[in-house]
Structure 1
Amino acid sequence: MGCDDHAAALSAFRPSAARILEKVPSTRGLGLDGAGLLAPAQAALAMADDGDPDAARRFFETWFSPIAIRPTSGGGFVTGYYEPEVDGSRRRSARFPVPLYRKPEGLVEIPEGAPRGTVPADVTWGLATPDGFAEAPDRRAVQDGALEGLGLELVYVASLVEAFFIHVQGSARIRLEEGGSMRVGFAGKTGHPYFPVGRVLIEQGHHAPGEVTADVLRTWLEAHPAETPAVLARNRSFIFFAEVEASDPSRGPVAAAGVQLTPGRSLAVDRTLMTFHMPVWIDLDVELDGIAVPGGVRRLMIAQDTGSAIVGPARGDIFFGSGETAWRQAAPVRHPAAFTVLAPRRAPRGGRRGAS
C-alpha cells in the first residue's frame, strides 16, 4: 500500500489552521492540547500552497507525533455522512409541508456542573428560564406540534424522512421553489439522547443486525409512511438549523469546528473526547466508494465536525461531499477501523516518520 497524499491532507488542514488562530480549540477528554495546535497552524499558513506532497509530509512529521487511539470497548469504527441536496420552499405548501426549525430562544448547551432543575441527567441542552433550565420538547412532541405558532420555521421540505436525514447529517443545500438556493447548518438540538432508529427494523425482524445501513433505512421508511412518524419518534433528539453562508463552493458546509468540510478528508468525532482540528489517521481494510484506494483506506483526515451518534475515542464519521453521489458513497459505510491521532509536538522536530 502506498502512502497517502499528504498535500491533500494539508489542504484540508489549512481552513482549520486559520480557525485555530481565530479561536484556540478547547482541550477535550483525551487531553490532546488545543493550544498546542497554534504553532502548527501558523506553520501551515506560512507554507507555500503548491500541492507539494513531500513538503506536506515533512510538515506533519515535524509538527505532530502519532498516538494510537484505543477504543473503550470493541474496536474502532467508521461510518459515512454527506450534505443532502433537496428541493424546498420558504413557504409551507402541499408539496413542501415539513419544516426545518430555527433554534428556540434560550436553548443552550447546559454547562457542566450547572443546576439542572427538572432536566434529566442524560439531556445535554435545555431552555434557560428565570427559574432555571427547562427541558425542550423532544422529537415526538415536535412532530405533534409543540413548536407550531412560534415563528421558528426556517424552510420547508417534502417529507418527514427527508427532514430526518437532514437532521442526521446536520446540514443541507436546499434548492428553493422561489428560485436560488440556501444552505442550512446545525444551530442547536434538544439535547435528548440519540437513538439509532435503524434498530427498530432489527427489533421488528425486518433486518438482521449489521444489515441496516443508512440507505436500507431510508428505503424502508419511504416504503412505510404510516409507520414512519412513530419510528422516527424513537430518536428523541431533535436538531435546529440556521441559514449559513459558505465562502468556498468546492467545500462542504460549515461544520461544528467552524470550518467548511473537505470531502474525503473531514472527520466527525466525539467532541467530548477529541480536540477539534487534530489530524487523525484512519486505517481500514476495505475499499470505500469515493475514496479510490485499491484494497483499503489509509488516509489522514482532520477532526472538524461532530454528531450525536459519534460516541467514543475510536469512532469517526467520514464526510463524503454533497448530493446524491455522496449519499450513495456514504450510506453503506459501517466498517471497523484503526485510529491514530497526530498530536502536536511540544517542540517541532523533523526526521521521524509519520503515518503512511
Structure 2
Amino acid sequence: MSRLASGLTAMATAVLLASCSSVSLEPSAPAPTPTPAHPAPVPAPPGTLERSHARWVPSSFAELPGWGQDRALEVWPALRLGCQTPPAPWTRLCAQAHLANPASDSEARAWLEQNLKVYRVESPEGEANGLVTGYFEPLVAASRKPTAIRRVPLYTAPPDLGQRKPYWTRQQLDTLPAAQAALKGREIAWVEDPLDALILQIQGSGRLQITEPDGRQRLVRLAFAGHNEQPYKSVGRWLIDQGELKPGEASWPGIKDWARRNPKRLQEMLWQNPRYVFFREEPLPDPSLGPKGAQAVPLTPGRSVAVDPAAVPYGAPLWLDTTEPLSDRPLQRLVMAQDTGSAIVGAVRVDYFWGWGDDAEAQAGRMKQPLRLWVLWPRL
C-alpha cells in the first residue's frame, strides 16, 4: 500500500472522521493590545537543521522521555527494512546496521547512541507540540462466491475506468444498470458488512481471509488498483452535520455503532462518499509483514509511522512521546518513518501503524493524541 500513490490516506481517524474546528469568540470589550493570530517565530538555536516544513533543533538522548525503557531491539527489523531504500546520509550507516547484531535492548541503544545524533522536531516557527493519529490494515472474512450472509462485492478495476472521467459515483455503481454492467464479472470476493468494504476502500488495502469454493481458507492481500476520481467525502462528517453524532463520537467504532442502530439509513450514509476504490489481489507469503508504505518497504506494526516527507525523510528513526488512545499510559518508543498520507502535513505530525486485526482497528480508530517528536540522524 503506497498511501501517497493511491491518493488515500489510510487513516482511521484523521481523514475518515474530520472533526469540527474550534472557533474562538471575540471578547465583549476590545482588548487594549490586539493579540497576533500566530505567535512570533522563536529564533532557531545554533546548529539547527532547516527543512521546508520543519526545523530540527539539536537535542540529546538524555532529553528523550522514556529512552531507557523502550525495547529498542524490536525496531531493528524495521530499521533494516528501511535500509533497503535509505536516505542519502544513511547509506554508509545502513551497511554497518546490516552487520550489527545487537543481542539486547541495551546493545541496540548503545549502537544508536554511538552512531546517531538527536534533534527535536519543530515547526519552522518553533512549535514543538503536534498530533499523532493511527491507521491499520483491515482484516476481513470473505468468500470467493456470494453466500447467504456475504453479499457485498469487492471489485477489480473495470476495463473502461480510464476512459470515463470521472467514473460512476458510488451511488450510481449501486443503482444504474449501465454502471453495474461495467463491473459484472470483476468481483474478487464477497464480504458480509458494507462497512468492511468501506474501510478497505478508505485504507486503500487490506487482508482477506477467503473461503474458497472447496472450503479451503486462504489469506491474501488486497492492494489499491485505482478509484473513480470522485471526491472523497467523510461519512463521519456527514453524521455530525446530520446531528446523528457529536464530534467526539465520530470515531470508526462510533460510526459502526450508529450503523448497527440505523440499518435502514446505512445505504444513505454510504452514498454520501461518492469515491469508490478498486483492488487487485496479491499473495501474502509472510503474514508478519505489513503492506508496503511510501518508502516501498513493508510496514512493521508499532514500529512504522507515516510522516510529512518535507519535514522528515523516509528511513529516519523517530522518537515518539505521546499516550495510548483512551488511556494515560505513555507511548514512548522508537519508530521508523516509512509512509505518508495526504492529510499528514506538518512538522510534528505522525500517523502510527497499529497493524491488523480487531485490536489494531480499535486503537487506530480512536487515536488522536498530543505528540512531541525527535529525529535520530547520522553523525556527520
TM-score by length of 1: 0.73
Equivalent residue pairs, number: 306
How far does the alpha carbon of each residue in 1:278-320 deviate from its partner, in whole angstroms, 9 at most, with x for none? 3232221x3348xxx9742222222223345444443322122
1:82 aligns with 2:136: yes
Structure 1: state its 5+ residue gaps.
Answer: 25-33, 108-126, 350-356
The equivalent residue for 1:213 is: 251
The equivalent residue for 1:38 is: 91
1:237 aligns with 2:275: yes
The equivalent residue for 2:66 is: 2
Moved more, 187-196 or 317-326: 187-196
Q: Secondary structure at the match of 1:87?
A: strand
Are the counterparts in 2 of residues 267 and 301 from structure 1 also a CA contact under 8 Å? yes
The equivalent residue for 1:318 is: 352
The equivalent residue for 1:139 is: 170
Moved more, 138-147 or 164-173: 138-147
**1:271 Cα deviation (Å)?**
6.0
Are the counterparts in 1 of residues 136 and 364 from structure 2 also a CA contact under 8 Å? yes
Q: Secondary structure at the match of 2:249?
A: coil
**1:180 Cα deviation (Å)?**
1.7
Are the counterparts in 2 of residues 288 and 296 from structure 1 also a CA contact under 8 Å? no
One of 161, 167, 189 as aligned partner of 2:201? 167
Q: Distance in 1 between matches of 2:124 and 2:237?
A: 22
* RMSD across aligned positions (CA): 3.3
Are the counterparts in 1 of residues 324 and 367 from structure 2 also a CA contact under 8 Å? no
Identity %: 34
Q: Secondary structure at the match of 2:315?
A: coil
The equivalent residue for 2:151 is: 97
Task: Rate the CA distance shift 1:254–1:245 in 2: closer, same or farther, 3 A.
Answer: farther
1:14 aligns with 2:68: no
Q: Distance in 1 between matches of 2:277 and 2:253?
A: 21
Task: Rate the CA distance shift 1:330–1:91 in 2: closer, same or farther, 3 A.
Answer: same
Please tell me the residue identity of whatever aligns with 1:264: G
How far does the alpha carbon of each residue in 1:239-294 deviate from its partner, in whole angstroms, 9 at most, with x for none? 3322223443323333343322211111133467654333232221x3348xxx97
The equivalent residue for 1:300 is: 334
**1:54 Cα deviation (Å)?**
3.3
1:180 aligns with 2:217: yes
Q: Distance in 1 between matches of 2:94 and 2:229?
A: 32
One of 318, 324, 329 as aligned partner of 1:280? 318
Q: Distance in 1 between matches of 2:345 and 2:368?
A: 14
Task: Rate the CA distance shift 1:83–1:198 in 2: closer, same or farther, 3 A.
Answer: same
1:266 aligns with 2:320: no
**1:330 Cα deviation (Å)?**
2.5
Please tell me the residue identity of whatever aligns with 2:248: G
